[in-house]
Amino acid sequence: MANEIACIHINQFPLAYDEDVIVIGYWTTMRTQLLSARDLSVIASVDLGGDIIPRSILLTEFEKDLFLLVALGTLHKVS
């Protein structure tokens, strides 16, 4: 990976999605990405904006709809 990974979720159960996926949150780019578990190609990417870092991430299914839950933390810059 080109960026440091802050959190990762690898689904271990069948979802209402056509393929197995990996969800990653990054430290340096402050974004999350949904990747294909087969070849690590990017399916979707979301910039979180500001000084927000994903701390924990979970892809889950409620009533056949997929939800991405991201716990966030703020970036404290040391001067």
pLDDT of residue 14: 65
Strands, E assignment, 1-79: 5-10, 21-26, 31-36, 42-47, 52-62, 65-74
Domain ranges for the chain:
5-74
In tens, the pLDDT along 23-53 reads 999 888 888 999 888 888 998 998 887 777 8
Average pLDDT of the segment spanning 14-31:
79
Q: Tell me, what's the pLDDT at 23?
A: 92
Which DSSP symbol is given to 37?
T
